[in-house]
Structures are given as C-alpha cells and as structure tokens.
Chains A and B, each alone.
Chain A
Amino acid sequence: MNIGKISIKNFRYKPLYTFLGVLMLSVSIALLLGIQKLDRSLKNQMENNLGNIDMVVGAKGSPLQLVLASVLHIDNPTGNISCTEAKTLAKNPMVEKAVPISYGDNYQGYRIVGTTKDFAFLYGATLDKGKNIERSMEVILGATLAERTNLKIGDTFQSSHGLAVLGSHEHDDLLTVVGIYRPTGKVIDRLLVTPLETIWDVHHHEENGKEVGHQDEHVNPDHDSEEGHHDEDNVLEEENKEITSLLVSFRNPMALLNLPRAINENTNMQAALPKFELDRLYQFTGVGIKVITGIAYAILAISCITIFVSLYRMVRDRAFDLALMRTYGASNFQLIKMVAYEGLLVAAISFLIGTLLSYLGIYLIFKMIADQYKQQMPIEFGYQEFLPTGFLVLTMVLFAIVFAIYPIVKMNISKILSHEK
C-alpha cells in the first residue's frame, strides 16, 4: 500500500463523478487542441498555396475574387486580360517572374490550367513520371488528381467546359496525359497543367465549329481594350489572344509599394496582393474560429471548476476518512499528495483522451476537406503544439488542487472525529 494506490482507489471509488470530470476536461482539451490545429493548418495551407506568388494581375473586379480564382483556384475568374498588356507588364524590371494562366475548363471537376513552364516553378513542383510538355493538347497531372482520377500517362480525355462538373458540355478535342507531378501539398496537386495554346486551340475550334457561342469567359475577343497597345515588336500571334490572369513574383519587396498601385491606376487591369487579400479574408472568417476558441476556453474553465468541486467535495465528503488517516499517523503532506495525485490523474487521463479526440476530429475534418474541396492537407501533430495547451491545463488543475486541499491544512481532526456522522 502507498499513497499512489490509495489515490487510484479514491479515483475509482465514485466512478460517475470521476467520469464526468474526465469527460468535461477531455472534451475541452480536444476542442482547444483541435481548433488550434485547424486554425494553423488552414492558415498554413492558404499561405502554402501562394507559392512564390507576390501579386496577381487580372481583369478589374473584386481583388479577393481574383486571388481566390487565380491563386487558390476556388472561385470564378473576374474576366480576361489582354496578352499584350500582360507581356508589357512582365517586362517591368521589378518583376522577377510573370506566369500567365488561362483557365475555364475542367476534367471531373478538376481545373485545367493553361500556362507556361514557369507555373511549376512557382510551386516547386517537379515531375514524378513522364516528360515535360512539348506541344499543345498535352497535359501534366497534379499528384492528388492523378491519384483520384484513373488517368495514367498516355491516356487521352475530353475536357468539359466551365469550372464545375455540372451543366457543362464536353469539348471535342482530346487532351493527352504526358506527365505527373510529385506531391507538393500545394494547389498544383489538384490541377491539370497544359500550355496556354491548348486552351486557345480548344476554344478557337469551337468558335469556328459552332454557330451558337456559349457564354465564354476566356475567349471573349474583347478588342476595345487593346486599341493603343499594338506592340511593334510583338510578332507572335498573341496580340488578339487573352489570358485570365498573370501571376507575378517580385524581384524585391519595394515593388509591393509601387507596382500594384501603378497597375490599378494606369491600366484597365487589376493587381491584387494574395497575402493581403487572404489576411483580409481571414479577419472575417477568423471570427468563427475566435468564437469557438472562446467557447473552448470557457469549457476548460468550467471543467477545471468541476475538478475543483469534485476534489473539494471529496475532501469534504471524506473528511472523516482523512481524519482517520491522520490518526493512523499520516502527515498533512501525505494527504495533500493523495488528493493532488487524484487531480493529476484526472488531468493526465483527460489530456490523453482529449488528444485522441482532437486527432479523430481533425482527421475527419481533413477528410471532408479533401473530399469536398479536393485539397489534401497533411495531418501532423508536433509535440510543441500540445505544450501550450498542456501547460494551461496543468496550471488550472494545479490551482483547482491547491484550492481543494486547503481544508486539509485547516483540518481539525479532533473536531471531525468527535462529530461523527
């Protein structure tokens, strides 16, 4: 027999009380850990998706929409911009890299992005299998996409018009898979990458072949905007072509101050800063997270009060037991140790259950995100993520214990023993 054993016996003596205490505490720990993890993952995932993109240039409209559409690929584009104008911008000395993208088609809901070779560099994507694109109508698959669809290298498929699976018609031209990227954990994992020419070719044929032009956001031959921009040196046939947007990385941070303003004021294009826009978005959506975090802290406080109350009740209810132990020769310190062990046992078990619960919750939420948004999020739990919450719980439990054992210190054994129940 020792103090620890007696604590465990006490712990099991009133299972319902103990269970309630453990339940409350573990749920609040799970909520706290889960919310922190979710918050951090979403932020990371968003920032991760930015890759090296400092600025997006697209048609005028909502800057947030432009970022969501062209960087995160979860919204419709604001419109198109002229290829020529984009080219001029790309030559600006402050621009390190400018990658044009054009999209508007999908395969089974995954977006097909027409772009240049540089697109892969923005996300640090390298080829896992196959070869690089050499000509129009060739496609490289993102890793998640290759896994989810049954496409293999050499396969051909028809793209569907529009960005969603529903309500679209299929283009006649066949696209060929030539390569698959390694997983990056970024947005490129769920995209089909193809040269700009593919998009132009597909839609060009359609325009000639079909009388009724469907509402087409990318090949809208909007020449008005280009009147003064017929570059002499632009020998390419691109002068009439359009792209959806231009992803830009800067040579130095100074560009952040000047370039976007210059574009917004002097051209009929719009420049948006993804970091800034996402931060803004986050301030709105963050309210939800903040509310839930607040609730989790409230539950934590309540469960610590529960621990305190149950320890305090135990000290009160078992005043006679504790007095008996004193007559057996137990010191105050031994009794305090006994109660403290009991509290810490509750805390430790709750922390364990809470951690498992949060794991499970995060797993389910990530799975849902993966299914619904075609976005793979890595589940990683570092021990340092537990430290702040663990420390907080421990502190609160210690407070509860200190308050609960106070009556032991003040205990008048003689009085308790002479007032037998």
Chain B
Amino acid sequence: MIRTQGLTFTYDTDDAVFNFPDISLPENEHLLILGKSGIGKTTFLHLLAGLLSPIQGEIQIGKVKVHQLSTRQTNKFRGKNIGLVFQKNHAIQSLNVIENLEARLFFAKQTLNQETMTEVLKQLDIADCKNKKVQELSEGQLQRLGIAMALVHQPKVILADEPTSSLDDENCNKVMNLLIQQAKAHHANLIVITHDNRIKPMFKNHMAL
C-alpha cells in the first residue's frame, strides 16, 4: 500500500515549485505515471523513494509515514522496502551478477541462499550469467539484472524510472511483462514513470503529471 497527500517540492537552486497530485494505491495494484520530460517525474519518484525530502505533504508506505523518518531511518527503510529500477546503470560495476545480488541483500541486512538467488535469476532468464561481470552483459540482460536487483529483497514497492526508453519494442514488452509479473509474484506495488506510450496498454491505472 502506498499513499501520498499534498506533496510539494522545490530545489533551492531555482524557484520552481512542484505540486504533485495525490496517489493512493492498494496492495497488488500498479500505476503508470506519464508525462513529458522536465515536469518532475523523476523528482516525484525520488520523493517516493525517500531520496529527496518534500517541503510539504505526506508519504505513507504500508504503515510507515516515510516523510517523518530521519535520514538514517529513511536509508534503512528504503533498503528494506523499496526496489528501484533505472534506465541504465543497473548494478555495481566491480561485482559480478550474483555478487551484486549478495551486495543488494547485504545492504538491506538480509541473506538468501545461493539456490533462491539463482531461482530469481532463472525467472528473469539470466541464471546463465550468474558469474559474469556486469560489463559482459547485453543491454537486455542488464535491464533484467536491474529488475532482479529491485526485487530480490522482497520490497513492498518497486519504483521504475523510464525502464524501457533505451529498449526496442521486443525487449520493451519483455521487460515490462517481467516487471509486472514479478511485482505480482512478490505482492509489491509497481509504479512506473515514463514518457514511453508503448507500455500504456499494460496498465490499468494511469496518471498524468
């Protein structure tokens, strides 16, 4: 469950103030946020992830009021409960695939045995790349590793920032299907922000910024 109310934010460098519409997403529901670049989509996502603090408004994930947490608590909360998927740069360069999953779990203060982690990779069709370096992966494999990184620790919310903008149609469909399917399997809310109209039909809930 994720809910926001009256979120307002400003970067102190300029005076533009972002006012974001309220959202309220029950469990197992997903949301697609559409909008042109520069209108604060990523800012909204970072507010939800606790990477930025709102100047006003409330964010509630599960039973926790995220906006009330201290920086340290936010850090911990994010590590445990939020999975982030990015457009590029999905994993730590110096580690291989399985080490990346281990590191992800380590920072969330969790551990999983090798089989479970391999299972996660298998569902994303990258189990063969288990011991490969990140640089050796293809674009599609990288994106799938990004998804694995976002959900291996069983988060309550998965936030995806333009996950498909650098992918072709085929990979775009594949990645989105995987993301939705995995979110379902892990009972997590999935929020995707994008300007990519290709994925519009895959979501029941839409919102324009």
Contact = CB atoms under 8 A, between A and B. Distances in A.
Nearest to A12: B94
A331 B75 contact: yes
Contacts of A1: 99, 102-103, 105-106
Interface in A1-27: 1-2, 5-6, 9-10, 12-13
Given A9-B95, A325-B103, 15 more contacts: A1-B99, A13-B94, A318-B93, A321-B93, A325-B107, A328-B103, A329-B76, A329-B78, A329-B80, A329-B108, A331-B72, A334-B107, A414-B43, A417-B42, A418-B43
Contact of A421 (B75, B78, B82, B89): B89
B146 to A, nearest CB: 10
A168 interface: no
Interface string A307-332: 00000000000101100111111110
Given A1-B99, A321-B92, A321-B94, A414 B75 contact: no
A318 B87 CA distance: 17
B78 A420 contact: no
A421 B102 contact: no
A413 interface: yes
Contacts of A331: 72, 75
Interface in B33-77: 42-43, 46, 49, 51-52, 72, 75-76
B18 interface: no
A6 B93 CA distance: 11
Contacts of A9: 94-95, 99
Given A1-B102, A418-B42, A418-B46, A329 B94 contact: no
> 9 closest Cβ contacts across the A-B interface?
A329-B79, A13-B94, A1-B102, A328-B107, A1-B106, A329-B107, A414-B51, A414-B46, A330-B107
A106 to B, nearest CB: 66
17 contacts: A1-B102, A1-B105, A6-B95, A9-B99, A321-B89, A321-B92, A321-B93, A327-B49, A327-B84, A328-B79, A329-B76, A329-B78, A329-B80, A417-B51, A418-B42, A418-B43, A420-B88
Given A321-B93, A328-B107, A420 B84 contact: no
B18 to A, nearest CB: 13
Interface of A: 1-2, 5-6, 9-10, 12-13, 318, 320-321, 324-331, 334, 413-414, 417-418, 420-421
Given A327-B78, A413-B51, A420-B86, A10 B91 contact: no
A185 to B, nearest CB: 52
A331 B73 CA distance: 10
Q: Give the dominant DSSP class at A's interface.
A: helix
Contacts of B78: 327, 329
Given A330-B79, A418-B46, A324 B91 contact: yes
Contacts of B156: none
B30 interface: no
B66 to A, nearest CB: 14
B144 interface: no
Contacts of A327: 49, 51, 78, 82, 84
A321 B94 CA distance: 9
B106 A326 contact: no
B93 A420 contact: no
A417 B76 contact: no
B171 to A, nearest CB: 18
A331 B74 CA distance: 10
B30 to A, nearest CB: 20
A315 to B, nearest CB: 13
